[in-house]
Structure 1
Amino acid sequence: MKVFVQVPCLNEETTLPLVLESIPREIPGVDEVEILIIDDGSTDRTVEVAKEHGVKHFVLHSRNMGLARSFRDGVDYALSHGADIVVNTDGDNQYPQDRIADLVTPIVEGRADIVIADRQTSQIAHFSHFKKLMQNVGSKVVNLAAETKLPDAASGFRAYSKAALYRLNIVTQFSYCMETIIQAGNKRLRIESIPVTTNPKTRESRLFKNIWQHMFKSGLAITRSFLMFKPYVILGWLGGLMMLAGLIPFIRFFIFWLQGEGAGNIQSLIFGSAMLVGGLLSLALLVIADLLRTNRVLIEDQLERIKEIQYGLDPMTDDPKARTPEGLMEQRRALEAHRTETDPLGLAHNRQTEGHS
């Protein structure tokens, strides 16, 4: 079992030593712990400091690419180097790296696919009351979209199993945190949460300029995820409300028309027509979104198979039999059974299972 701890960095030469020194090198049930530095266009000595502390794995960006791209590139590197579990922390020493073992344990024991640290934001001293409120509201909206009950959806201190990373696809350019939860929830992955206490603040966030920008970009990411996985929540309700708003002035106009006063109430007819047209367009978009959702499921199924071929099946057991063709075939059957929970076309029942050695 190999664990990769990836650390996205942007000019973190000051705090990076604290992070690297607190990452555990031995974890129960884990054979190897590797550290991966993702340098997102740093202009200081971040890379040199990491090398001085014995880090051997690096992903280097020539310019700042953002947190989502850094996470995606780090995962690709880790999987290509044999990672069975990927832990994500941060280079500003916000998270308690000594709790990495607690993040990994539920995955090692087979209880979870993803483990997310709960920062207990209501107790963070440097968070304003408004920020605490927005963190709580944001988590509730994400839980609604993902059908989960996570107390801290914005936490970036997480552990992912290899199987979970096969099924997650990052499309946003801002932050992967909320998007991966919504994807994981809708794909019925098992998610656990553990409470942690964050370290003292070392610097301001570089992910966003202010809380309003953060709220705006997070809102866009959540809305996009809603449209991907639950288009009826937005388009269905919007279309229904607009249809209802269009029928009311139509009925009003019809009543006045029966009374011979229709000529003076044309505005009701115009407003009702506009609302009905908007409602019909929303319902038409809902049909298109649902068809695109079906197409996305098929594409993601292909991507998952490609990842299995590229990186190998998920060996979440030390049983030597699991390495044999029969063992790999059994893993394939388990993956196929898992897919049937979220396969809307029932395609998983018609696929033949095969092992990759």
Structure 2
Amino acid sequence: MLQATKHADVVEPLLQLAPLPDSVPPDVVAVIPAFNEERFIASVVISTLQYVRRVIVVDDGSSDRTPFLALQAGAQVIQQPHNMGKAQAINAGFRAALAHAPAAVVCLDGDAQHDPADLPKVVRPILEEGADVVIGSRFLGIENTAPGWRQVGQHALTRVTNVTSGVHLTDSQSGFRAFSPAALRLLRFDTPGLSVESEMQFLLANSGLTVREVPISVRYLDGNKRNPVVHGLQVLDAILSLVARRRPLLFFSLPGSLVAMIGLLVGLNVWSTMERTGNLLEGRALLTSLLVIGGLLLALTGVLLHSMQHMASHIAGQVRNDLKTQMERE
């Protein structure tokens, strides 16, 4: 039986699989974050190994047989010490994949929602066209078989993420994605819960990485493991948190300016009333002060945070250029 291991401990696969066809790229690695996926993980690993030579399953503190079955199916298994969330699982998978010097890394879910047969199509823009991130879209030219209410929620989250991040995709929540080595080195995620795809979209906005979408098929073989309404609200909450951190002008300065303008309008009403009647509307005057001062403070906070973010982005850009130069020399 597979024994529990410490964070980022690696267990190599037990199975020796037959050689892949010559059409399969030898240096593509698949990363599958998994939490309590014993029902599907073995079949997902076996199917994925038809298209790549190495599959890394990051077990995110499962309480079932997920790591054992993944190992038996031929995957390299990395075990997190406890449930740390999908973002940290992907980070661990990226670190493990980089050790194999891959030409590309493909992420897909462990619940059999994604069809590994789409993997060559997802990875092709990186291997042949120089793309850095490729997102498999469930809504790009292929009929989606998800229930109508589920599609409405997915489209709503995509629209909110597109508007707030500045990067426009047709499917912001897809977990079927491919990454170039440059993207693997630049992208690190820290959002909690299952909103890492939204965080990725914010990171891509100022990363300088080339993003593409390709159509994929999707299948829903299992019921919802979590309440879809609660899940949607959690993702929306994470998006708002990302906006506050990465788009401070939108989150702080714009609402602050609107609040200050409302305060000025209330103040004009107080002044007009005082001019006509000689009476000071003390309540409205106090409200004017609160709105104007509070709004200006919010607007100033947004400007300061934006300046700090701009400086951080400039430094990150210099790091990216140095990294590209180093990679070209190698």
Q: Same fold (TM over 0.5)?
A: yes
Does residue 133 of structure 1 match 2:158?
no
Give the whole-Å Cα distance in 2 for the aligned partners of 1:58 and 1:48.
9
Amino acid of the structure 1 residue aligned with 2:39: T
Letter paired with 1:288: L
Question: How far apart are the structure 1 equivalents of 2:220 and 2:251?
Answer: 39
Question: Which shows bigger deviation, 40-49 or 93-102?
Answer: 40-49
Given that 1:38 and 1:58 are in contact with CA atoms closer than 8 Å, whether structure 2 keeps it comes out as yes
- Asked if the contact 1:227–1:289 (Cα under 8 Å) also holds between the matched residues in 2, the reply is no
**Using the alignment, how far apart are the partners of 1:148 and 1:247 within structure 2?**
35
Residue of structure 1 in register with 2:133 after alignment: 114
Q: CA deviation at 1:236?
A: 2.1
**Secondary structure, counterpart of 1:216 in structure 2:** helix
Q: Is the 8 A contact 2:28 2:106 kept in 1?
A: yes
Q: Distance in 2 between matches of 1:303 and 1:64?
A: 32
Selected match of 2:72 from 42, 52, 60:
52
Q: Give a deviation string over 1:288-334, Cα, whole Å, max 9, x none.
A: 2123313532564587589x5xxxx6xxxxxxxxxxxxxx66x55xx
Q: Following superposition of structure 1 onto structure 2, how do residues 1-357 of structure 1 map, counting pairs within 5 Å?
A: 2-26=27-51, 33-55=53-75, 57-120=76-139, 123-129=143-149, 131-174=150-193, 175-205=195-225, 209-263=226-280, 265-297=281-313, 300=316, 308=323, 331=327, 355=329, 357=330
Residue 200 to residue 287, structure 1, CA distance change in 2 (3 Å): closer
Residue type at the aligned position of 2:34: C
Q: Which amino acid in structure 2 is aligned with residue 262 of structure 1?
A: N
Structure 1 residues 112-121 or 265-274, which shifts more? 112-121
Residue 23 of structure 2 corresponds to none
| 8 Å CA contact retained: 1:146, 1:186 | no
Identity %: 25
Unaligned runs of 5+ in 1: 27-31, 314-327, 333-354
Q: Which residue of 1 aligns with 2:11?
A: none
Cα distance in 2 for residues equivalent to 1:90 and 1:142: 21
2:22 is matched with: none
Amino acid in structure 1 at the alignment position of 2:244: L
Whole-angstrom distance in 2 between the partners of 1:276 and 1:185? 32
User: Which secondary structure does the structure 2 equivalent of 1:116 belong to?
Assistant: strand
- TM-score, length of structure 2 as denominator length: 0.83
Q: Cα offset for 1:225?
A: 2.5
Is the CA contact 1:88–1:158 (under 8 Å) kept in the aligned structure 2?
yes
- Find the aligned partners of 1:200 and 1:132 in 2 and give their Cα distance: 13
Q: Which moved more, 1:62-71 or 1:151-160?
A: 62-71
Question: TM-score with structure 1 length normalisation?
Answer: 0.77
Higher alpha-carbon deviation: 17-26 or 73-82: 17-26
Question: 1:257 corresponds to which letter in structure 2?
Answer: M
Measured on the aligned residues, the alpha-carbon RMSD in Å equals 2.5
Q: In the alignment, is the contact (CA less than 8 A) between 1:246 and 1:276 conserved in 2?
A: yes
One-letter amino acid of the counterpart of residue 96, structure 2: Y
Counting matched residue pairs gives 303
**Counterpart AA for 2:125:** P
Paired AA for residue 6 in structure 1: V
SS of residue in 2 equivalent to 1:154? coil
Residues 249 and 303 in structure 2, CA contact (< 8 A), matched pair in contact too: no
Superimposed CA distance per residue, residues 105-148 of structure 1 (whole angstroms, 9 cap, x where no aligned partner): 0000134211111123995445342x322211211121223333
Structure 1 position 246, deviation (Å): 0.4
The structural deviation recorded for 1:231 is 1.6
